[in-house]
């Protein structure tokens, strides 16, 4: 089988690349963001079962009349119950995007572009029956290719299949907070979660400030951000607190389709390894020295360790 399943010239790639700084936009004081959520699943968690967890997240979004983008990893909902979950999101008007079928790590040298294309199609088959299926693809782990060849061929695949990249601009480590919280509740079901809520909200506000500041430095304006969170117990409990804190910070919640209309999302940063926050990728392509990966559980270890109860004496 040929590796290059689709042909698209580098000139065409360049023609599609947006250059947000080529014609400076007026400075905007309105900070906007949309919720983009990854990985709905049927995994059981403490405190809330699958249905209650999903209902809590949907209720939080409905209370704010917000239409989010849900990026679906096919294998996690490839069942009758999974189809019901996706139907609930689609019926509520939320866009359903493709997050591959098996959530494979594209930076893995063993994963080819042919396999990437197959993952794209297999994942699409799970979400295509739902009316709000949208041809946006989010790379697993936000990893878009460890070599120039893989990065550029993956971009060709997306264009050939009519997809755009479901980029994130405000990246974060909510998954690390969720893992610690879930572990704590399995050990101590009645644990007081107020410290987790406070630490998580502070983390998300800090990341929003960081990436919005980076965007302003790059483009001379704020942008319509996409916030990455996960369909998890953590967000079933505390997503509303995060949204309120960001509102208090001066951000306005806009629907995901509106956020993705910002021209920033047409950018094709020339970075390797490719991926992470789109804002960070563009900054790196212009020579900025930023930590890599942008977000990681290790960065939050001291905060998460501090949430653990002290060891009992004696």
Whole-angstrom distance, CA of residue 265 vs CA of residue 102: 25
Radius of gyration of the chain (CA): 19
Question: Considering Cα of 26, then 31, then 37, then 38, what sign does the dihedral take?
Answer: positive
Q: Residue 243: pLDDT above 60?
A: yes
Query: Would you state the pLDDT for residue 310?
Result: 77
Query: Would you state the pLDDT for residue 10?
Result: 31
Q: Is 61 helix (H, G, I), strand (E, B) or coil?
A: helix
Q: What is the mean pLDDT of residues 286-298?
A: 96
pLDDT digits (tens, 9 = 90+) for 3-42: 333 222 333 333 333 334 333 444 446 899 999 999 999 9
For 108, list phi and psi in degrees, rounded to 5. Answer: -65, 120
Bigger pLDDT: 28 or 225?
A: 225
Whole-angstrom distance, CA of residue 277 vs CA of residue 134: 21
Element (H, E) at 84: helix 80-91
Whole-angstrom distance, CA of residue 170 vs CA of residue 34: 10
pLDDT digits (tens, 9 = 90+) for 103-155: 999 999 999 999 999 999 999 999 999 999 999 999 999 999 999 999 999 99
pLDDT digits (tens, 9 = 90+) for 166-175: 999 999 999 9
pLDDT digits (tens, 9 = 90+) for 246-283: 999 999 999 999 999 999 999 999 999 999 999 999 99
Length of the chain: 314
pTM of the model: 0.90
Query: Would you state the pLDDT for residue 100?
Result: 98
Whole-angstrom distance, CA of residue 229 vs CA of residue 61: 13
Q: Give the whole-number percent of the chain exceeding pLDDT 70.
A: 89
pLDDT digits (tens, 9 = 90+) for 181-214: 999 999 999 999 999 999 999 999 999 999 999 9
Delineate the domains of the chain, giving CATH numbers in brackets. Answer: 28-306 (3.20.20.370)
Given a contact cutoff of 8 angstroms between Cβ atoms, the answer to whether 125 and 82 are in contact is no
């Amino acid at each position: 089988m040929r590796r290059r399943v689709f042909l698209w010239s580098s000139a065409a790639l360049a023609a599609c690349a947006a250059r947000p700084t080529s014609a400076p936009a007026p400075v905007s004081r309105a900070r906007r963001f949309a919720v983009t959520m990854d990985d709905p699943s049927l995994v059981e968690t403490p405190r809330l079962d699958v249905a209650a967890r999903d209902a809590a997240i949907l209720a939080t979004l409905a209370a704010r009349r917000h239409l989010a983008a849900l990026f679906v990893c096919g294998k996690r909902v490839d069942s009758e119950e999974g189809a019901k979950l996706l139907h609930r999101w689609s019926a509520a008007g939320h866009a359903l995007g493709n997050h591959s079928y098996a959530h494979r790590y594209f930076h893995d040298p063993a994963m080819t572009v042919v396999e990437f294309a197959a993952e794209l199609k297999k994942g699409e088959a799970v979400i295509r029956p739902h009316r709000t299926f949208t041809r946006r693809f989010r790379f697993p782990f936000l990893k878009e290719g460890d070599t120039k060849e893989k990065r550029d061929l993956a971009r060709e695949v997306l264009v050939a299949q009519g997809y755009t990249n479901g980029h994130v601009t405000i990246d974060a480590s909510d998954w690390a907070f969720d893992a610690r919280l879930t572990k704590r509740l399995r050990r101590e079901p009645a644990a007081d979660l107020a410290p987790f809520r406070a630490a998580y909200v502070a983390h998300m506000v800090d990341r929003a400030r960081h990436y919005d500041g980076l965007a302003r430095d790059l483009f001379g304006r704020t942008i319509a951000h996409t916030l990455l969170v996960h369909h998890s117990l953590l967000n079933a409990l505390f997503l509303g607190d995060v949204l309120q804190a960001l509102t208090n910070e001066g951000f306005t919640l806009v629907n995901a389709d509106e956020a993705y209309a910002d021209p920033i999302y047409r950018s094709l940063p020339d970075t390797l390894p490719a991926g992470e926050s789109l804002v960070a990728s563009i900054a790196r392509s212009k020579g900025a020295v930023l930590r890599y990966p942008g977000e990681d559980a290790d960065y939050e270890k001291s905060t998460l360790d501090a949430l653990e109860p002290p060891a009992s004496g004696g």
